[in-house]
Amino acid sequence: MKLLKILVPFAALALLMAACNLDDAVSGDNPDTGSDVKLVINEYLASNDACCFPEFDYPDWFELYNYGDVAVDLGGMYVSDSKSDYKAFQIPTGSSDVTTVQPGGFIVIFCDGMPERGPLHTSFKLGSGGEDITLTESNGLAVIDELSYGPQDTDISEGRNPDGSDNWQKFTSPTPGESNTGEAPTFPPTIANIAVTPETINPGDAVMISATVSDSDGDLQNVIVTYGADLSAGMEKDMVVASDDEYSADLGSFDDGSVIYFFITASDAAEHVTVSDTLSFQVGFVPPVLYINEFMASNDTTYYDPATDDYPDWIEIYNPSSKPVNIGGYYVTDGLDELTAWQIPDTQPDSTTIPANGFLLLLADKKPEYGVLHIKLKLSGGGEQIGFTAPNGTTLIDSLTYGEQTTDVSEGRLPDGSDNWTNFTNPTPGASNN
């Protein structure tokens, strides 16, 4: 489930950007990288839900651009999603008809974790929470091009415009394998960091809804929260600016046991409209005690999943109580500004119930078609966040921020559920860390 649901804009796109000489836009010697190969990472999409390449199940991807006058065969070169491991995946040799980039041409590298699909499909996936992309010569030493990126918006790419230049911008209509130079898009508002306060709501408490609402075009007009026990007859209230891009609205107080649903709508002068997910809060709700107890964000050989024939990233949830807890309907995220990034299906309680004093493993492999415990997220080996949220979409049960990871080494609490985090060279997915 995505936090933002962006409606089709009605405004025309902006004027055509002026062209520039690519020899001026890109240094021919790449002095900062130590390589003379005239390739650059030109565009990428690290959160692909429904944008491009449905024949490959909407993979993450990045595009290379050859700004030179000589064809370049990628065979033997390395690509990676981490600057700590430039040799994460080597593009196979012997397929020059597929792996050669013509002068002035483009080629797409598919980051789907399925190299069996072809020489341009890598063994890794890109993290939507932010990480690295690198391209290195076949000696594994000379870096041709590299970049680091932050949290990404679903189905919106980032690329150079004009091609090969140092000017990066977002594209609401990505152009994998084609030139980025064209009309500059306008952008809809974004809604993030939705919160309900107080965290535990008692009868008579004033309930405040807050969110970060911004518009990169600077033409935001209205921010409204719609709320009620029945949204078909819901009430509306303008959200007011608290500071910078922070908006809030006081909804007043509610009776004990009340369940109130709400969503936020933001609109701009270009007639873009962005609507958040429908979230909720319940007066008197006390969330269960659950912990993110162990995780692995760079799994090469440690935990094998026979269903996918792969080594996925994983997150372990620990239930310290004396009663089982069904986490069907709960949310998992790799960015704490979007607590509802992925909702665990509530259709198979036998699979999603954590026994008393037990553990449950969530596989972060972006392959939810393989079962309810496969989440449509991938953890970044370069470091990011993990959040676990109640079914209302606003109550954060547990969260953490982690740094760069070591392959096949997990991080976890020792003892289980404590505040003491340590590394495990012998991980224990689905079992006690003690």
- Please report, in tens digits, the pLDDT of each residue of the chain (434 residues total): 344 443 333 333 332 333 334 433 343 334 345 688 999 999 999 999 889 999 998 999 999 999 999 999 999 999 999 998 999 999 999 999 999 999 999 999 999 988 999 999 999 989 888 889 999 999 888 999 999 998 888 899 999 999 999 999 999 889 999 999 866 667 889 999 999 999 899 999 999 999 999 998 889 999 999 999 999 889 999 999 988 899 999 999 999 999 999 999 999 998 999 999 999 999 999 999 999 999 999 999 999 999 999 999 999 999 999 999 999 999 999 989 889 999 999 999 999 999 999 999 999 998 999 999 999 998 988 888 999 999 999 999 999 999 989 999 999 999 999 999 999 999 999 999 98
Assigned domain for 93 exists: yes
- What is the structure's pLDDT at 431? 97
Place of tokens 């065979």: 75
Q: What is the CATH number of the domain that holds 102?
A: 2.60.40.1260
CA distance linking residue 103 with residue 142, whole number of Å: 21
User: Are residues 49 and 117 both part of a single domain?
Assistant: yes
- What is the structure's pLDDT at 183? 62
User: Are residues 58 and 111 both part of a single domain?
Assistant: yes
User: Are residues 41 and 154 both part of a single domain?
Assistant: yes
User: Are residues 138 and 196 both part of a single domain?
Assistant: no
User: Are residues 250 and 148 both part of a single domain?
Assistant: no
Assigned domain for 11 exists: no
- What is the structure's pLDDT at 33? 58
Q: Residue 304 burial by CB count (10 A; 0-12/13-18/19+): exposed, middle or buried?
A: exposed
User: Are residues 296 and 276 both part of a single domain?
Assistant: no
Which helix (H) or strand (E) segment holds residue 97: the answer is: helix 96-99
| Of the residues 171, 206, 233, the one at which a domain ends | 171
If you ran DSSP here, which 8-state letter would residue 339 be given? T
User: Are residues 28 and 150 both part of a single domain?
Assistant: yes
φ, ψ for residue 249 (rounded to 5)?
-150, 135
| Of the residues 282, 314, 344, the one at which a domain ends | 282
Q: What is the CATH number of the domain that holds 267?
A: 2.60.40.10
User: Are residues 242 and 380 both part of a single domain?
Assistant: no
Q: How many domains are contained in the chain?
A: 3
- What is the structure's pLDDT at 180? 92
CA distance linking residue 125 with residue 78, whole number of Å: 15
φ, ψ for residue 342 (rounded to 5)?
-145, 130
User: Are residues 66 and 117 both part of a single domain?
Assistant: yes
CA distance linking residue 301 with residue 249, whole number of Å: 49
What is the extent of the structural domain holding 232? Answer: 190-282
| Of the residues 136, 171, 206, the one at which a domain ends | 171
Q: Which among 184, 263, 265, 266 is positioned nearest to 220, based on CA atoms?
A: 266
User: Are residues 92 and 238 both part of a single domain?
Assistant: no
User: Are residues 220 and 352 both part of a single domain?
Assistant: no
CA distance linking residue 279 with residue 301, whole number of Å: 39
